[in-house]
Copies of this chain bind each other. A is one copy, B any other.
Amino acid sequence: MITYDLSTRGTQPKYEFLYRCIRADIRTGVIPGSSKLPSKRELAHHLNVSVSTIEQAYDLLVSEGYIQARPGSGFYVTPGKDEGTYQDTVQDEAQDEDDSIDFSSNRCSQMLFPADTWARLMRKTLSERDPELFETVPFNGLLRLRQAIAGYLYEFKGMKVRPECIIIGAGTEYLYGRLLQLFGDRRCIGIGEYGSVNLFNVSQGKSTLWDCFSVDKQGLRLDNLEGSPAEAIHVSPANHFPTGAVLSDERREQLIEWANERPERYIIEDDYDSELRYFGRSKPPLFTQDTGEKVIYLNTFSKTLVPSLRISYMVLPKTLMEIYRKQLSFFSCTVSSFEQLTLAEFIMGGYFERHIHRLRRYYSKQRAAFIDAIMASPLTSIATLDDMEVGTHLLMHVNTNLSDQEIAQAAQDKGLRLSMLSDYCIEQTVRNTHYAVINIASVESGKIDSMVGMLSEIFAEDIKRHQKTN
């Protein structure tokens, strides 16, 4: 119960002192909005003062609107009187409500998400009231969702996956965490100089070791593979984030061979975003080339559906899955049964497939619109676009005297959140790439021109200089 030291009240009357204390606690959010205050009698007894003292204090608070009396129920703090919480609100919502154009966000996905269908399936799941809904979820997720995913992987990626080798988790970061734990102490993992920031971050406070590989237009460079202490290589063959580089066939084979050479070697294939390919057919995942139980496959629905859905999955080779079952199955599944059942319906009903097609059409339009707008702008004289056929990013190299930091700062001054390739680098050696990462999923088509306009302004000096010299 709330406790105040009345001995510190000096000359103030008790009721006024208490009134001030409680008001302060309400304002600072220490006593949260909508919460119930102790009854006058309780509080009087607790603070060893007369009931009428509390009465006067509460009356003052009521008269100023800090608390409300609910007949027969007691006194409740008026919501919204909590300035602390109010600040908190602002801060929390800043990420979404912010008017500035955020090149690193993914706002479109919410616009395109078939919310009505999803809501309908949720209602269906709810009304059918599968007993599973309230039962303990198996550590690796509900069978129905794992079957749906296995079916999807087979149908769209040619992957032959057994449902019992799939682990459902709340987000790829979460699954990375489990995976690093499965690998155990002081294992060395090979990662790209950029594109693996999340995996790298997840390992904070863990004893994982790292070996950093450079990245080019064919993806991860493997020249130093044989000399590397790495026992596992993290790679996104279909779409190296954020450049969209596709791993070449030679490198795919080299990786598989390397992994097969030693029992402790593995390949971690993050297939994130591979669904969003615009031209030609995407190569099947590395997983399909794996004959030696060497590839660990991860993918997520948070990107292709909505960010608020935290559902990712990991496919483990049988041998690893057995170890996981023994060592880590005490970790309860982090995704609620309700959302797992809804997603299973969404996939099996063919809605996911349709949604992907819709996304693809939309993003390829966006992509074209961005490219046209940039080509039609003064930027052409100093900027070149990397031709990427997958994912939701465009990479724009700019011939500029500005440092990456200065570019990002200038963008921010215009209310534009712009990431540079160097922001995705793990080793902070790479400072100035002069590559801007443009997320085509960040804005509606209507805003593209004005945005490219802003970009041109940022590089106005460079454009002028270029015009002079030519």
Contacts and interface: CB of A to CB of B under 8 A. Distances in A.
Given A31-B160, A36-B155, A327-B204, A147 B85 contact: yes
A69 to B, nearest CB: 16
Given A89-B143, A174-B174, A162 B29 contact: yes
Interface in A207-221: 207
Number of copies: 2
Interface in A281-301: none
Contact of A119 (B31, B126, B137, B202): B126
Interface centre among A115, A119, A177, A205 (most CB of B within 10 A): A205
A185 B335 CA distance: 28
A32 B156 CA distance: 13
Interface string A140-171: 00010001101110110010111110000011
B96 A136 contact: yes
Interface stretch (A336-344, A390-398, A451-459): A336-344
Interface in A301-344: 302, 306-310, 327-328, 330-339
A174 B293 CA distance: 28
Interface stretch (A127-135, A401-409, A420-428): A127-135
A306 B185 CA distance: 34
A45 to B, nearest CB: 13
Contacts of A122: 122, 126, 338
A84 B162 contact: yes
A32 B207 contact: no
Given A307-B136, A309-B336, A91 B204 contact: no
A344 B201 CA distance: 31
Contacts of A138: 92, 95
Interface residues of A, number: 89
A129 B308 CA distance: 13
A345 to B, nearest CB: 12
Contact of A147 (B34, B171, B202): B34
A177 B147 CA distance: 29
A223 B205 CA distance: 30
A365 interface: no
Contacts of A119: 126, 129
A131 to B, nearest CB: 8
A41 to B, nearest CB: 16
A207 B207 contact: yes
A184 B205 contact: yes
A110 interface: yes
A122 to B, nearest CB: 6
A422 B96 CA distance: 50
A188 to B, nearest CB: 14
21 contacts: A32-B151, A32-B163, A34-B148, A34-B348, A35-B155, A84-B164, A85-B147, A85-B162, A95-B138, A96-B135, A119-B129, A136-B308, A170-B334, A170-B335, A177-B177, A184-B204, A185-B205, A198-B330, A202-B331, A334-B334, A336-B336
Given A32-B150, A89-B143, A115-B133, 8 more contacts: A30-B160, A32-B154, A34-B151, A110-B135, A136-B307, A310-B335, A310-B336, A338-B339
8 nearest A-B pairs in the assembled complex, by CB-CB distance: A170-B334, A35-B151, A181-B205, A136-B307, A32-B150, A88-B164, A30-B160, A134-B306
